[in-house]
Every structure is written in C-alpha cells, then in structure tokens.
Amino acid sequence: RTQARRSLYDLLLGIRKDFADQAGIPPELVFSDRTLQAMAAEKPGNEGDMLALPGVTPAKYQKYGKVFLRAIQRNKDRRSGL
C-alpha cells in the first residue's frame, strides 16, 4: 500500500512539474507537497473530495484539479485491473 501511494505521489509530482514548467512558475504554486501527499493518501474521486483537501481552492481546482483527478482515477483503475 505504501508503495502504491508513493507511485501515485510520484505521478502527481510529474503532473505538477509539467504545469509549472508550462507556466514558468515554481511547482509549489500549482499545489504544495502537502497537498499532493493528501491526494495520494485520500485518492479523491470528485470535485468535492478535491476541494476538501488542504491547499485545493476552487480557483486551483478549476485550473489544475481535473487533470489530477483523471490521473488519480487512471491510477486506481490500473491497480484494480480495469
């Protein structure tokens, strides 16, 4: 389980880096490490779940959240064999 969480966290770090590189901003301005750790632990399944996480504001959800949600869902599906 810890390995799976680390794998998801690494995936989320990569997505964050892509957003930051495209925007020319530090990665922490996309989402903090703490927020990505919460995503990897909680595996939110919808907008409400995402907004309940520390550091996910409505503006950040609109800008980045859907991409992170899709990645989390794809990760879940792959792990469950779907």
pTM for the model: 0.90
Q: Which SS3 state, helix, strand or coil, does residue 44 take?
A: coil
List of E strands, 1-82 = none
Residue 81 pLDDT grade (very low, low, confident, very high; cuts 50, 70, 90): low
For 44, phi then psi, to 5°, come to -60, 145
pLDDT digits (tens, 9 = 90+) for 31-72: 999 999 999 999 999 999 999 999 999 999 999 999 999 999
Query: Which one is predicted more confidently, 75 or 16?
Result: 16
What pLDDT is attached to residue 63? Answer: 97
